[in-house]
Amino acid sequence: MTSHKLALITGGSSGIGFALAKLLVADGSDVCLLARNYGKLQASQQTLSQQSVRKDQKIEVISADVTNYETLAHVLDEWTADFDVPDLVINSAGVTYPGYFQDLDVETFHWLMDVNYFGTLHVLKCLIPKMIARGSGTIVNISSQAGLIGIFGYSGYGASKYAIQGLSDVLRAEMKPLGIKVSVVYPPDTQTPQLEFEKDLKPPETKALSANSSVLSADHVARTILKGVKKGKYLIIPGFEGKLLFRLTQLLGSLTYPVMDLLIRQAQKSKKSN
């Protein structure tokens, strides 16, 4: 599926990150998972080690907080000195917290931006200079469909995922002449611990909008991502509905907003009747 020899995956102990790790291990890659919870990392490492396909295959873990740049830089400097610069970096660490804008604390907005955007930025600031020095590498940043179009109830989460889109757009242009490929992924609702966490926090309108689309498995999303990376795609959109949403927003332009307003009005009518 991929020719990458060494992959670093943030948020790799669960969800989409762990699903990607399983596929990469099955394909013979050395893999390093980076996350905060060392207990979960150890369990994930044990599972992946049992699935390894090479006797010398390395399954490493790093317990670190992507929001702490200074500590992260020190840890990644030590790790790359021991294991080399990764061929593939996947930024899958992320958090979500839906709610009405007026009800969300300012601290929640900072937390979402710190983990989702600055967490991605910090990892890349640590590793991109090393990739440039080598002249090669692949970067995959995980955005969201909430980073394609503003979705009711996701003012904090959506803004952080739009920021990843903006960063990825610029990096794609800057890194291409330097031999480094960049991809950005827009997953829909995916069956992960994050989806379970947010289900009781969603406003009724958000739940109604979500009910109009299907939920993908983390394995399905992971397969789509690696297939897109292999083909050198910049935009990777898992699922038919996600691709349709992207095409419609491109086709409709500003007409997208009246359509969203109609869906929200219908959701609010349903909320009142219930």
Domains of the chain: 6-273 (3.40.50.720)
Q: Which residues pair with 273 in a beta bridge?
A: none
Please choose, from the candidates 220, 225, 124, the residue with its C-alpha nearest in 3D space to the C-alpha of residue 168: 124
Arithmetic mean of pLDDT over the chain = 93
Q: Which of 40, 161, 186, 202 is catalytic?
A: 161
Q: What integer is the mean pLDDT of 39-44?
A: 97
Calpha distance 56→208 (Å, rounded): 49
What are 144's two structure tokens?
Answer: 């969201």
* Token code pair at residue 195: 């989806």
In this prediction, residues 62-80 reach a mean pLDDT of 97
Query: What's the average model confidence in pLDDT over 130-135?
Result: 98
Q: What is the mean pLDDT of residues 19-46?
A: 97
Q: Stretch 239-253: mean pLDDT, rounded?
A: 86
161 in catalytic set: yes
**What residue type is 138 in one-letter code?**
T
**Pick the catalytic residue: 14, 29, 44, 143?**
143
From the candidates 117, 154, 157, 162, which is the catalytic residue? 157
End-to-end CA gap in the chain: 48
Catalytic site residue 272? no
Question: How many percent of the chain have pLDDT more than 90?
Answer: 80
Query: What digits encode the pLDDT tens for the residues 161-197?
Result: 999 999 999 999 999 999 999 999 999 999 998 888 9
Helix (H) or strand (E) holding 88, with range, is strand 88-91
Percent of the chain residues past pLDDT 70, beyond the cut: 97
In terms of C-beta density within 10 A (0-12 exposed, 13-18 middle, 19 or more buried), how is residue 93 classed? Answer: buried
pLDDT given for residue 274 in this prediction: 63
Spatial CA neighbour of 24 closest among 62, 55, 51, 63: 51
**pLDDT band for position 271 (50/70/90)?**
low
Q: Which two tokens stand for residue 22?
A: 């399983």
What CA–CA distance (Å, rounded) separates 16 from 156?
21
Annotation marks residue 157 as catalytic:
yes
181 sits in the region (left: phi over 0; alpha: psi -120 to 50; else beta) called beta
